[in-house]
Amino acid sequence: MAERQKFYITTAISYPNGAPHIGHAYEAVAADAIARFKRLDGCDVFFMTGVDEHGLKMTQTAAREGIGPKELSDRNTALFVQMCDRLAVSRDRFIRTTEPAHYAASQALWRKMAEAGDIYLDTYAGWYSVRDEAFYDESETVPGENGVRLGPQGTPVEWTEEQTYFFRLSAYQDRLLAHYEANPDFISPASRRNEVVSFVRSGLQDLSISRTTLTWGVPVPEAPDHVMYVWVDALTNYITGLGYPDVESEAFRRYWPADVHIIGKDITRFHAVYWPAFLMSAGLPLPQRVFGHGFLFNRGEKMSKSVGNVIDPFTLAETYGTDQLRYFFLREVPFGQDGNYSHEAIVNRINADLANDLGNLAQRSLSMIAKNCGGAVPAPNGLTEADRAILAAADGLHAKARAAMVDYALHTVLADVWAVVAEANRYFAAQEPWALRKTDPRRMETVLYVTAEVLREVAILAQPVVPAAAARLLDLLAVGPDRRDFAVLGEKGRLEPGTPLPAPVPVFPRYVETEAEAAS
């Protein structure tokens, strides 16, 4: 058997300075859907997510709450883990940056960069945003209200001056530009790539990479009065998770470099400029790709605690259902672009796509099979042009989905799958199997077989996004657990006539408005 292709995918690691929000949920679900897709498509996947526990933001939030940063992190990290469970995020590893192994990895990477001559001590004087944990050039900041200066993300910046270690980022400008040029997909989507290229072209300053005014972080080797700048240790998480500094370890050799880092667009610079420069300095291979997804907004507005529109992913999952929420995120928002969520938009997707289009087709065809075909998979009796056409459309989905996934276009995969669902509904309506029951029962069986077969392929391909509902549908079709991956799509996995089927139950219930919602 050919060796399975490896696929290493990560999310950003989230700051546990508060409870997870919808942006965290979105990123985790998107990365999970990609990981599940790749697993079903035969890859040996390693999927990692986790939390970024150090830094000034954690220290300051903890101080405001009158607790230590570790206590703050422990409390919120538990919620991030719960969120992963609640949203069916199938991670292989949940990493915490306070793990001793992560200290060792970060210090080892630091030493490599120092050995390469890329680290020196100097005085930093410039602007820092605690909210972004980022240094900004004066030219990137603007005056805000009440004498506060704002950085490019609209967060306040503070003037800081201290003795710190620097990383010779300026020395990597040409190598980075050459890398972007030679690897046009390194930064996706293209709009993010253009931003990064023009940032790097405009000239790179050396980067301050340690702090002395802070103790909550990874100590700098041989300089314990310094802790590492939080982004140095945060980015290192991607290799800590594979056993770095043991580059001979099985996991590191197997999975590094990462196939894709899934991150939000606001942190592209760290992943597409700093991270590859650190890796080049340490003599390690670079990740294949950095994918910067868009932001989710609440009816066009940025979520903020002061506006009071921060939506808790637990409440959303509770209200709409995990699969429903996952489907909404990935179908509604073209992956890479910004998107909006609102109660109406979520309900519309649930009821139109899931309950009506797929749920009803499954319910109608499976109940007819239960009543009229002895509760077993019916036998096809000679295929017509219409039967062949819908089967061909379903059989063609795998190739289309793979093509869309080259760019992680999850929304395109779903649009293609649901286009076949719509076509199957038209087929079902046109064939009128309920009328054939009396006039031509053999033909009815064929129509029901073809419909069930389309449902099988749709359910298999829907698994990455709606894992629980797809599994229920595959149960209803008596598709065994070993016959659910993409290898059995198309003719080789056809349903076996005569296979007994369980009694059908609805797979996607309609969302019914509560009285309060209906009245508002």
Q: Which residues bind ligand ME8 (CB under 6 A)?
A: 12-15, 23-24, 26-27, 52, 234-235, 237, 263-264, 266-267, 295-296, 303
Which is nearest to 69 in space by CA: 239, 230, 208, 304? 230
Choose between 341 and 486: whose C-beta lies nearer to ligand ME8: 341
Which is nearest to 371 in space by CA: 509, 503, 506? 503
Give the Cβ contact number of residue 214 at 10 Å: 19
Choose between 153 and 356: whose C-beta lies nearer to ligand ME8: 153
Strand-pairing partners, residue 298, are 301, 341
Choose between 234 and 474: whose C-beta lies nearer to ligand ME8: 234
Question: Residue 340: how many CA atoms within 13 Å on its side-chain side?
Answer: 8
Q: How far is the CB of 238 from ligand ME8 (least distance, A)?
A: 7
Q: How far is the CB of 6 from ligand ME8 (least distance, A)?
A: 21
Strand-pairing partners, residue 122, are 164
Phi, psi of 120 (to 5 degrees): -145, 160
CA dist 150 and 127 (Å) reads 9
Which is nearest to 20 in space by CA: 310, 340, 397, 392? 310
Q: How far is the CB of 339 from ligand ME8 (least distance, A)?
A: 8
DSSP string covering 157-208: EEEEEEEEEEE-GGGGHHHHHHHHHH-TTSEESHHHHHHHHHHHHT-PPPEE
User: 3-class SS at 61?
Assistant: helix
Choose between 26 and 216: whose C-beta lies nearer to ligand ME8: 26
Choose between 266 and 485: whose C-beta lies nearer to ligand ME8: 266
User: 3-class SS at 349?
Assistant: helix
Q: How far is the CB of 27 from ligand ME8 (least distance, A)?
A: 5
DSSP string covering 434-450: HHHHHH-HHHHHHHHHH
Q: How far is the CB of 11 from ligand ME8 (least distance, A)?
A: 7
Q: How far is the CB of 268 from ligand ME8 (least distance, A)?
A: 9
Q: How far is the CB of 194 from ligand ME8 (least distance, A)?
A: 18
Choose between 180 and 274: whose C-beta lies nearer to ligand ME8: 274
Q: How far is the CB of 131 from ligand ME8 (least distance, A)?
A: 9
Q: How far is the CB of 394 from ligand ME8 (least distance, A)?
A: 33
Which one-letter DSSP state was computed for residue 291? Answer: E
Choose between 23 and 69: whose C-beta lies nearer to ligand ME8: 23
CA dist 375 and 476 (Å) reads 11
Which is nearest to 189 in space by CA: 9, 336, 289? 336
The H or E element spanning position 96 is strand 93-96
DSSP string covering 295-309: -EEETTBPP-TTTT-
- Cα-based torsion angle of the residue sequence 72, 78, 80, 84 in order, rounded to the nearest 10 degrees: 180
> 429: exposed, middle or buried (C-beta count within 10 Å: 0-12, 13-18, 19+)?
exposed
Q: How far is the CB of 50 from ligand ME8 (least distance, A)?
A: 9
Position of tokens 């992190």?
73
Choose between 23 and 380: whose C-beta lies nearer to ligand ME8: 23
Which one-letter DSSP state was computed for residue 504? Answer: P
Choose between 64 and 442: whose C-beta lies nearer to ligand ME8: 64
Choose between 300 and 500: whose C-beta lies nearer to ligand ME8: 300
The H or E element spanning position 261 is strand 260-264
Q: How far is the CB of 340 from ligand ME8 (least distance, A)?
A: 11
Choose between 345 and 386: whose C-beta lies nearer to ligand ME8: 345
Choose between 22 and 393: whose C-beta lies nearer to ligand ME8: 22
Report the residue number whose CB is nearest to ligand ME8.
264
Q: How far is the CB of 14 from ligand ME8 (least distance, A)?
A: 4
